[in-house]
Structure formats: C-alpha cells, structure tokens
C-alpha cells in the first residue's frame, strides 16, 4: 500500500515530515510527501520533504491566520485547486490512499483540509484518510505567571477547541476516516505542546509507520514473507468510508535475536531458527497487551469500536502463529466485534516484537464529547447575538 502524505498548516507539515522520516526503507509506504502552509517560516526545517513538494499559498496570509477559522476556510476554498495541482509533482493517480495530516486547532489546516479532502475525493478513486491532532487544554490560555501574554513562540490559541470541533463537523461525510491523536493525553505535567511537539510527532509517526509499513511489502523472500498480508482493501474495510473516528495502539517487546533458543518452538517460518515456544508466545502476548491496554493515540473504550485490526511484527522466528491468533481473539473479546482483521509483518533485522491495534468506529469518545459540550454553547451564543 502506497500513500500520498499531505501536511497542511504548521502542525500538519511537521507531522508529514515526521512520517516521512519514520518511513522504513525496506517497507516504504510513503510514495510522496507534501507540505502546504500559508506561513513560509513554518516550512523551514522540513528536510525530509523535498523543496519541490513544499508550497506556500494564500498571498495575503503570510505569517499565518491567527486562529481565524472563517478566514482559513475562505483561503482554503480559494486555493484548493492550486494545491491539488501541486500534487502532480508526485504520483497521486496511482496512490492507494491519501493521508492528510492536520492540527485541528489551527485555522490554516482546519480551513483548508475540508476543501482539499473534498477535492481529492472528486479527482481520484482512492480513499482519503485524515490524520488529525486534537488541541490540548493548556494551549487555550497563557500559563500562570506571564501576565496574560502568550509564550515566546506565540502558542496560545484561545479558539483551538472551537476550531477543532468545527473542522471535524466539516470533515463529516468528506473523509473516509479520521485517525485522531490527542495532544492532551500525551503531555506530561508542566509541559506545553510547543515544548515537546517534536516528541509528540515522533510518537504519532512511529504508530502510523508501524501500521502502514505492514501494508507496503510482503517481505523479501521466503525468510521474510508475511503469512497473512495486510493490503489496502483490508485497511479500507477497517477504517471504513463513513468518516468514522479511529485510534491506534502500539506495543513492543525486546527479544533475543542471536539465533539461540530451542529448535522445537512453533515459529511462524520453518526456515528460520526457532525459539522457545513459550518465549515467543509471551513476547507476542505482551506486545498485544501493551498495544490494546496502553496509551492509544485517542483514548476510548475498546468496547465501543465497531471494527479493529491487529498487526504483529518482528523477527520471523518470534511470530508465533498460535499467539497471533490468540491476540486476534483478545481484540475480538475487548471490542465485542466480529469484524476483526489481522496480519503479520516479518522484520528479519528487527530486535523487537511489536503489535499495532487499530480501533475504528469508536464513538462515543469522552474526549470528543467534552470538546463538543464546551464549544456548542459558544456557537449558539454567536447565532443568538
């Protein structure tokens, strides 16, 4: 599966850059990556995305839009055709899907992405997935002790939550699915998004790369070929086409890869040196447990998910087929859904067993419900004024 990755707005461009950096050479899933923003300064430092794929638009919007989503929507509508033409520098017509990255709290990305997603759906016969970050509460107002001023980088965004909800509303019915990452739940005490955004982007990119790289290549020869391949149609079936919200869980377990261990284990590939069955089963179970019960990109109740996918990867000898099947049953039990797909991702040079769990159709999500409850009264107040 090959993706056209498009970052829109400052946050979206940084996420696209992080995904490009995380794209594994042996199992590359990024066909092309693009960065679109109204602020030329925010595109500085995007080294993994070639200069020919970075584009500033909105001639009267240099320096950004200051959180004004209405202005962002107008700019997005005006320039959407120009941005779509810029994609011709890549290979959009042969992409299996588009992945559009955006920070939902911003005006540039939030204003442009609904127009761009709609245009991509019209121009190409491929699903369009949105990778969206939710703003943290601490972005809404200055931290205590600075006399009401924004921080040095100007990262106080009082309209971020309202922008996020309005953008999600506009994406409904346009995007095939929205994969969410909640900045709030990934921040530690005392941190701001501006302080640690690189770390957050790396965390998100690692999960996206682990998932989509499993769809990119069946492996290299008999010793590295997946037994159950995950392809674009599988991803489409799980993520859906009705703008459902999705979240990703990820877990890893370091294993010994020096060729030791018993030769009587039930490895997935008979041509590989086997390991103790109990050790392989434990490594798979541990990584699946971490992915399901650890921190998700968007915290939710697994039981609310209508569909799910499990991918287990790592050194081939450690990919115990019984344990992977048990992992699928664990996901099925946690979600209560029978629509569970799975696959394996052999990594002959890997040193970890990893598991990726994708939960889709997870509404209702308490975090999103809280955002909507705080912003709907603001919308009503504006309409009544």
Q: Is residue 157 part of a domain?
A: yes
Asked if residue 197 and residue 258 are part of one domain, the reply reads no
Q: How far apart (Å, rounded) are the C-alpha atoms in residues 155 and 142?
A: 8
Q: Is residue 164 part of a domain?
A: yes
* Percentage of the residues of the chain whose pLDDT score is greater than 70: 85
The pLDDT of residue 260 is above 50: no
pLDDT value at residue 201:
97
Residues 6+ apart with CB under 8 A from 254: 351, 352
The pLDDT of residue 263 is above 90: no
Q: How far apart (Å, rounded) are the C-alpha atoms in residues 110 and 69?
A: 7
From 198, 213, 228, the end of a domain falls on: 213
Q: Are 271 and 223 in contact (CB under 8 A)?
A: yes
Over residues 170-186, the pLDDT tens digits come to 999 999 999 999 999 99
pLDDT value at residue 59:
77
Asked if residue 200 and residue 53 are part of one domain, the reply reads yes
pLDDT value at residue 152:
38
Read off the pLDDT band of 269 (50, 70, 90): very low
Is 109 annotated as ligand-binding?
yes
SS3 for 338? coil
**Rama region for 366: left / alpha / beta (φ>0; ψ in -120 to 50; rest):** alpha
Q: Is residue 41 part of a domain?
A: yes
Asked if residue 342 and residue 258 are part of one domain, the reply reads yes
* CATH code of residue 62: 3.40.50.1440
The pLDDT of residue 235 is above 90: yes
The pLDDT of residue 257 is above 70: yes
Mean pLDDT along residues 310-330: 96
Note the pTM of the prediction, 2 decimals: 0.90
Q: ω into residue 320 within 30 of 0, thus cis? A: no
From 170, 196, 213, the end of a domain falls on: 213
Number of domains in the chain: 2
Asked if residue 277 and residue 199 are part of one domain, the reply reads no
Going 9 to 10 to 11 to 12, the CA torsion angle's sign is positive
* Percentage of the residues of the chain whose pLDDT score is greater than 90: 74
Read off the pLDDT band of 200 (50, 70, 90): very high
Among 111-120, 195-204, 218-227, the least confident range: 218-227
Asked if residue 143 and residue 19 are part of one domain, the reply reads yes
Strand spans (E) along the chain: 3-8, 30-37, 54-56, 97-103, 128-134, 177-182, 244-254, 307-314, 340-346, 352-360
9 closest CA partner among 135, 112, 151, 131:
112
**Rama region for 66: left / alpha / beta (φ>0; ψ in -120 to 50; rest):** left
For the record, the structure tokens of 250 come out as 């990820």
Read off the pLDDT band of 145 (50, 70, 90): low
The pLDDT of residue 194 is above 90: no
From 190, 213, 236, the end of a domain falls on: 213
Q: Is residue 202 part of a domain?
A: yes
Is 375 annotated as ligand-binding?
no
pLDDT value at residue 64:
63
318 closest CA partner among 368, 268, 363:
268
* CATH code of residue 298: 3.30.1330.20
pLDDT value at residue 216:
80
Asked if residue 206 and residue 290 are part of one domain, the reply reads no
Asked if residue 330 and residue 261 are part of one domain, the reply reads yes
Strand partners of residue 131: 101, 179
Q: Is residue 133 part of a domain?
A: yes
pLDDT value at residue 383:
42
Is 139 annotated as ligand-binding?
yes
Q: Which domain holds residue 24?
A: 3-213
Asked if residue 100 and residue 19 are part of one domain, the reply reads yes
Residues 6+ apart with CB under 8 A from 204: 15, 18, 131, 133, 181, 297
pLDDT value at residue 334:
97
Over residues 357-373, the pLDDT tens digits come to 999 999 999 999 999 99
Is 107 annotated as ligand-binding?
yes
For the record, the structure tokens of 145 come out as 């002790």
Asked if residue 128 and residue 75 are part of one domain, the reply reads yes
The pLDDT of residue 381 is above 50: no
Q: Is residue 260 part of a domain?
A: yes
Asked if residue 251 and residue 142 are part of one domain, the reply reads no
Strand partners of residue 312: 344, 355
Mean pLDDT along residues 51-78: 86
């Amino acid at each position: 599966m090959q993706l056209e990755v498009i970052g829109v707005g400052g946050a979206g461009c940084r996420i696209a850059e992080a995904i490009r950096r995380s794209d594994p050479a042996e199992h590359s899933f990024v066909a092309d990556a693009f960065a679109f923003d109204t602020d030329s300064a925010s595109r500085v430092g995007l080294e993994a995305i070639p200069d020919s794929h970075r584009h500033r638009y909105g001639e009267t919007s240099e320096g950004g839009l200051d959180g004004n989503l209405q202005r962002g929507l107008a700019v997005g509508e005006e320039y959407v055709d120009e941005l779509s033409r810029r994609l011709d520098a890549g290979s959009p017509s042969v992409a299996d899907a588009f992945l559009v990255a955006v920070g939902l709290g911003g005006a540039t990305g939030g204003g442009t992405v609904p127009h761009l997603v709609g245009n991509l759906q019209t121009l190409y016969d491929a699903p369009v997935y949105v990778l969206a970050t939710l703003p943290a509460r601490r972005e809404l107002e200055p931290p205590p002790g600075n006399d009401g001023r924004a921080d040095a980088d100007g990262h106080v965004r009082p309209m971020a939550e309202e922008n996020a909800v309005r953008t999600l509303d506009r994406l409904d019915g346009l995007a095939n699915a929205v994969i969410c990452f909640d900045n709030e739940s990934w921040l530690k005490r005392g941190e701001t998004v501006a302080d640690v955004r690189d770390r957050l982007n790396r965390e998100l990119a690692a999960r996206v790369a682990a998932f989509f790289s499993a769809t990119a290549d069946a492996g290299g020869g008999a010793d590295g070929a997946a037994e159950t391949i995950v392809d674009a149609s599988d991803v489409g079936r799980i993520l859906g086409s009705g703008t459902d919200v999705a979240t990703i869980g990820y877990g890893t377990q370091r294993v010994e890869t020096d060729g030791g261990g018993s030769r009587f284990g039930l490895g997935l590939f008979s041509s590989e040196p086997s390991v103790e069955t109990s050790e392989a089963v434990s490594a798979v179970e541990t990584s699946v447990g971490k992915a399901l019960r650890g921190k998700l990109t968007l915290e939710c109740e697994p039981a609310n998910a209508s569909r799910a996918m499990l991918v287990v990867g790592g050194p081939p000898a450690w990919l115990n087929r019984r344990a992977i099947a048990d992992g699928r049953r664990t996901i099925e039990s946690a979600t209560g859904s029978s629509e569970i797909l799975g696959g394996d991702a052999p990594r002959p040079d890997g040193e970890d067993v990893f598991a990726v769990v994708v939960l889709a159709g997870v509404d209702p999500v308490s975090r999103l419900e809280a955002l909507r409850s705080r912003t709907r009264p603001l919308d009503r107040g504006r309409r009544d004024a």
